């Protein structure tokens, strides 16, 4: 495709955008908080491809959808810049690097067990990601929190999630309802018309066929097989994963281990560790599940690759469907007075969500043991005796490299990865 004029007057070609999405896909460590931070830096801070309002409105919309919100946000921005082809490129490049790495790690795990060298490398990467996440939190908060009420909404969203573990969709729904009913009639509108229902129906029908016809084919070709069971399981999961990866991991783990007996509990934890330390959405842990489940059932790593492919198709095809069906409505939602106010308050709540994810990530990096307290305030609390001094020092060095020395994202990640290997390798010798 040719050059595209963006909202802020910047021009970018599809080829330039493809290189940008490839970079984001390769460096998208740290779960949704780190991925959104990286995207914000590349799309807005470095290139001003969309406005801050468009970015946050799209993020709000994606947070309300099932599936990984960061991948869907990338798909939307790609669609905004270059239509459905741009959306496909952005979404695929966000997922594929992590999928390729996880395929390799899953194969090595199936053949040789867990890999200390890989764990050490990505331990250092996670320390750098913590600095990246905190920097992004400050940037987003500065732009999203404009009124005193926005700070209150963000604080209440954080408390609801971190301290009380309330369901994410409930928190967002309450923020949206508050914004809707507190809207002023003077809120400006853009005059955007609602997209045609016929176009929406056509797009939805196409993507439903792309998603579900292969699932039906699995049942026809291999009825009762592990592939059909994986297809059913991950298709179901793709429509209930509201709140992103963290909201679905416990559900997935329980069913995978206790109901289907595809993996043992230690294997599930190892898979989560591998997914946490690779680029791409954290829910790629399901690819590890599909790989091991199929390879065990058929005694073949080739079957494992097929099981991973079933996961990828049944999980991410719906993500493209949600965006291509819903993206045309985002500008219309912005133009509606009350809906615009609702989205603004969701934006404030999302700041609290990112703070919650940042602290969750930081606690699990800096402490060896973290668990939810029981009682009326079931907040996350670390075992203070498990504090990882090395991770803290490395995170501080990453922050200094990123914020003071301005080494840039790639150099900071490489610097911390090398330090992680060095530290963990030398520690047993000391």
- Phi and psi angles of residue 204, each rounded to the nearest 5 degrees, phi first: -65, -40
Q: How confident is the model at residue 2 (pLDDT cuts 50, 70, 90)?
A: very low
| Segment 340-363, tens digit of pLDDT | 778 778 778 878 877 887 787 788
pLDDT, tens only, 200-218:
999 999 999 999 999 999 9
Residue from 168, 141, 172, 341 nearest 247 by CA:
168
pLDDT higher at 241 or 406? 406
- 227 vs 58 pLDDT, higher one: 227
Residue 31, number of CB atoms within 10 A of its CB = 27
Whether pTM > 0.75 for this model: the answer is: no
Q: Residue 244's pLDDT band (boundaries 50, 70, 90)?
A: low
In this predicted structure, what is the pLDDT of residue 1?
42
Contacts of 152 (CB under 8 A, 6+ apart): none
64-109: per-residue pLDDT in tens?
788 888 899 999 999 999 999 999 999 999 999 999 999 998 998 8
Would the CA dihedral through 207, 209, 211, 214 be positive or negative? negative
Q: What confidence tier does 154 reach under pLDDT thresholds 50, 70, 90?
A: very high
Give the burial class of 199: count Cβ atoms within 10 A of its Cβ; 0-12 exposed, 13-18 middle, 19 or more buried. Answer: exposed
- Which residues face 372 on adjacent strands? 380
* pLDDT interval class at 245 (50, 70, 90): low
What b/e string do you get for 40-58 counting C-beta neighbours within 10 Å, with b at 16 or more?
bbbbbeebebbebbbbbbb
Mean pLDDT of 330-337: 71
Mean pLDDT of 126-141: 75
Phi, psi of 218 (to 5 degrees): -60, -40
Classify 375 in phi/psi space as left (phi over 0), alpha (psi -120 to 50) or beta. left
**Does 179 have pLDDT greater than 50?**
yes
At 225-237, the pLDDT tens digits run 999 999 999 998 8
Between 57 and 184, name the one with better pLDDT: 57
Which pLDDT score, from 0 to 100, does residue 88 have? 97
Query: Greater confidence, 113 or 210?
Result: 210
**Which H or E run includes 219?**
helix 197-221
């Amino acid at each position: 495709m040719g050059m595209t004029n963006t909202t802020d007057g910047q021009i970018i070609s599809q080829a330039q955008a493809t290189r940008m999405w490839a970079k984001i896909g390769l460096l998208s460590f740290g779960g949704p908080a780190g991925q959104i931070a990286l995207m914000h830096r590349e799309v807005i801070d470095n290139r001003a491809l969309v406005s801050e309002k468009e970015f946050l409105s799209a993020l709000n919309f994606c947070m309300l959808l099932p599936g990984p919100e960061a991948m869907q946000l990338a798909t939307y921005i790609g669609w905004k810049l270059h239509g459905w082809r741009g959306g496909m490129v952005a979404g695929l490049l966000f997922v594929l690097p992590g999928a390729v790495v996880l395929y390799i790690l899953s194969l090595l795990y199936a053949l040789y067990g867990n890999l200390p060298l890989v764990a050490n490398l990505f331990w250092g990467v996670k320390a750098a990601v913590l600095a990246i996440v905190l920097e992004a939190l400050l940037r987003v908060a500065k732009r999203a929190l404009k009124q005193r009420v926005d700070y209150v909404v963000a604080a209440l969203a954080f408390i609801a999630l971190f301290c009380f573990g309330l369901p994410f969709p409930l928190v967002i729904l309450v923020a949206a309802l508050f914004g809707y009913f507190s809207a002023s009639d003077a809120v400006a509108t853009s005059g955007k018309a609602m997209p045609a229902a016929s176009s929406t129906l056509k797009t939805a029908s196409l993507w439903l066929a792309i998603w579900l016809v292969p699932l039906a084919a699995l049942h026809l070709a291999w009825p009762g097989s592990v592939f059909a069971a994986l297809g059913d399981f991950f298709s179901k999961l793709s429509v209930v994963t509201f709140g992103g990866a963290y909201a679905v991991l416990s559900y997935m783990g329980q069913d995978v281990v206790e109901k289907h007996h595809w993996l043992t509990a230690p294997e599930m934890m190892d898979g989560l560790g591998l997914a946490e330390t690779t680029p791409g959405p954290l829910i790629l842990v399901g690819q590890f599940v599909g790989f091991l489940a199929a390879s065990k059932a058929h005694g073949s790593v080739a079957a494992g690759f097929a099981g991973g492919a079933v996961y990828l198709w049944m999980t991410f095809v719906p993500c493209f469907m949600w965006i291509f069906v819903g993206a045309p409505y985002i500008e219309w939602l912005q133009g509606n007075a009350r809906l615009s106010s609702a989205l603004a308050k969701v934006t404030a709540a999302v700041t609290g969500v990112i703070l919650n994810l940042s602290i969750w990530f930081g606690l699990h990096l800096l402490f060896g043991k973290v668990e939810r307290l029981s009682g009326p305030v079931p907040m996350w609390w670390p075992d203070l005796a498990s504090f990882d001094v090395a991770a803290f020092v490395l995170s501080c060095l990453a922050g200094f490299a990123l914020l003071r020395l301005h080494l840039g994202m790639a150099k900071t990640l490489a610097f911390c990865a090398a330090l992680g290997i060095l530290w963990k390798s030398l520690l047993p010798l000391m």
